[in-house]
Amino acid sequence: MTDKMVTGILFIIAGLGPILVYVGLGETGILDKGHTEKFAAYTLLTWPLVFMMTRNVQRNTFIDAGLLIIVVGVTAGIVSDAINSAELGAGFDSIGEAIGTTAWSSTYLGIFITGIGYFRTNLFPKWLSGLLSVVSLIFFAFMAVLNAERYQTMRILWGLYG
């Protein structure tokens, strides 16, 4: 397999993997909440990996800065989801949700900055890089202003939890 093919497959896993795990395994009852979060965390680890693989094709400081923010955000987000899925009690759930809103909004900020870096290169079509930047900026803005109650509602609406 070529590097391009591996990167493409990882982009597909990164984009669809968490949704398929949450909806396909969690909502159907195949896995309990804790195991669903673990499998989703494993698929979420492809996000920094796939952005890192494209980083090596063409250097750009925006791509590097975005990748760093993505790594930090995904790491904290996985910790938040682990706290939420452990069912330790109401106090821990609020801690997990507080961490989650900051972590996931930071991840989308990193994706936005990476999208700007892609836009400044010829790695992807300009419209695709622009779409990545706009969508991730919207997600960042939405997640950044959430409080814990809205965060819980959003996760239920997306079928990610609950």
The residue ranges of every structural domain in the chain are 3-157
pLDDT for 116 = 94
Among 139, 27, 8, 157, which Cα is nearest to 77's?
139
pTM (predicted TM-score) = 0.76
pLDDT in tens, 75-127: 888 888 778 777 776 677 677 777 888 888 898 999 999 999 989 988 888 99
Instruction: Indicate the burial class of 55 (C-beta count within 10 angstroms; 0-12, 13-18, 19 or more).
Output: middle
For CA atoms 88, 93, 98, 100, give the dihedral sign.
positive
Cα distance between residue 122 and residue 125, in whole Å: 7
For residue 11, name the pLDDT band (cuts at 50, 70, 90): confident
Residue 58: closest CA among 106, 145, 129: 129
